[in-house]
Amino acid sequence: MSMKFVYKNGRKSDRTDKVEESQGTLPNKNNQPQKGDKKPVKPVILIIVLIAGLLFAAVFTGSCIERTFFYPTEYKKEVIAASDRFGTDRILIFSVINAESGFDKNTVSKKGAAGLMQIMPETAVFIAGKLGIKSYDLFDPGTNILFGAYYLKYLLSRFGDTITAVAAYNAGEGNVAKWLKVKEYSADGTTLKSVPYPETSAYIEKIKKSLKKYKKLYPSLVDKRKKI
């Protein structure tokens, strides 16, 4: 018996072009679409899908880069603990740490401010007295964040405004108290419309930007009970 092909089911039989054509193994002679043929995907659809994928990847990658290098949440456990104890907003604490030390726990300024939230020695003595702490290490992340969170809460309670409190954190509460009495810097005696120190002005803008970024990147950290 003559044989041209052996089929998958093991049966032996002659195979003709007609059979091949009907089973799709041989292109039809007229090159016309046949029943069962897959419709080609239009190039425009492929382009749309590709662009959508690239946009998604860009957004996702961009967010990851911002979280990792520009707006991290290191020492999250310590920040949450301090926030829960004093009621200081977590986003604000992270923003201040980012602006003050860039999350470097060993940073010391030329004026002697130390640690993650750059606590001045005299400010540390004041805070320790309020908290009843006799011995402390400002280079310990938990202690530094605890002191910084307390001081922010203290300033917020005194001035009643986040930006004014932030200005006081940078320039000192004594200076801010003076500025609030000058119409050039404050129209209502409560909030600041400008400050005379360029460094403090830049610091305020940096904190404002960080607050927005942290809220966007970490919505789960936002305390909806507080407006900052």
Q: Write out the catalytic residue numbers.
A: 100
Phi, psi of 29 (to 5 degrees): -70, -30
- The answer to whether the CB of 176 falls within 8 A of the CB of 167 is yes
State the CB neighbour count (10 A cutoff) for residue 72: 17
Task: Return the H-helix or E-strand segment holding 76.
Answer: helix 76-86
The one-character DSSP state at 66 is I
Helical (H) or strand (E) element with 98:
helix 90-100
**CB distance 148 to 123 below 8 Å:** no
| Residue 192, Cβ density class (10 Å: 0-12 exposed, 13-18 middle, ≥19 buried) | buried
